[in-house]
Amino acid sequence: MHVNAVRAIGLFAGVSALVIVAGWLCGAQKGAQLSIALVLCAGILVYLFGESLALRAMRARPVSEIERPELYRIVRELATAARQPMPKLYLAPVRSPNAFATGGSPRRAALCCTTGLLRTLEERELRGVIAHELAHIRAHDTLISSVAATLTALITALTAVTFLLPLGESEETDMPDLLGGLLLALLAPLAAAVVYFGVGRAREFRADEKAAELTGDPLGLASALRRMESGNRAYPLPRERVLLASAHLMTTNPFPGTLGRLFAAHPPVSERIRRLQELHREWDLG
């Protein structure tokens, strides 16, 4: 079993236990039952639809080679060079320039680009972004990312349900709902921690480096990141919960501002660009 599969199982089990305890504190047996139901639903979602949750959130659709021959050519060339299967390609009708990969394994992977990305980037920049996402697929980062996205959605859903549906004071514990509500309020930072520790900023740096190795052009990816950050500021995604839960999948953080940084697993773009420029100097390119 791949190391990221083990991490995904551990992440799901650990956070699920915390969610069940939080539910019990909010409403004893009734709260625990609700939490268990949500955890089971989350497990089913991860198993059946984990690969497509982000695609659905972005309203992405499969794109054919006839529609986007240049995109297919670039992805095929890079996948062949990386010796990994060609992922399924999707297109999201979004002006914000971004891309993401999802799927439990390289053979089940999907790669999605936004229309804004294809309009914004030149070919050398697009190659860098595609190579970055292929690196995530090859490292099985997409599996643990899918689990992290589902768990984040689970935590935010439990928080919302608890405040909308009063569970009543527990007869068994005499613990008021207020304490449980405050506990659940603390789960929002936990959701961010799930993304941060489950996905990790180190993975982004590693994917950048692997992308630079694959394309031989670290400055191409650096230029793409700069353009994408500017585009994300001009055309931010709507702050929907399901999109917030999937933000860490994107090549760059799609939500500028404090809330976006809370749910982001991305290092600052400036730091990523600096490292790519250093890599360029080390290779003495150009």
**140 labelled ligand-binding:** no
2 is in an annotated binding site: no
Q: What angle do CA 247, 69, 221 make, to 5 degrees?
A: 45
pTM of the predicted protein model: 0.74
| Domains: count for the chain | 1
Identify the domain containing residue 227 by its residue range: 3-283
Question: Residue 62: what pLDDT?
Answer: 97
> What is the predicted pLDDT for the residue at 284?
75
The residues annotated as belonging to the active site are 133
| pLDDT at res. 186 | 58
Q: How does pLDDT run along the chain (286 residues), one tens digit per residue?
A: 454 455 555 555 666 666 666 666 655 556 556 666 666 666 666 655 556 778 888 999 999 999 999 999 999 999 999 999 999 999 999 999 999 998 877 888 999 999 999 999 999 999 999 999 999 999 888 776 666 666 666 666 666 665 555 544 444 444 445 555 555 555 555 555 555 555 567 889 999 999 999 999 999 999 999 999 999 999 988 777 556 667 778 999 888 765 555 555 678 999 999 999 999 999 875 5
CA 59 to chain centre: 15
- pLDDT value at position 175? 47
SS (H, E, C) 71-91: HHHHHHHHHHHHCCCCCEEEE
Does residue 248 have a known ligand-binding role? no
Other C-beta atoms within 10 Å of 125: how many? 23
Contacts 24+ apart (CB under 8 A), 72-79: 74/123, 74/126, 74/127, 74/130, 75/111, 75/130, 75/134, 78/127, 78/130, 78/131, 78/134, 78/214, 78/215, 79/134
Q: What is the pLDDT of residue 202?
A: 82
How much is the pLDDT for 108? 86
Q: In the sheet that 110-114 helps form, which strands lie side by side, from edge to edge? A: 61-62, 88-92, 110-114, 99-102
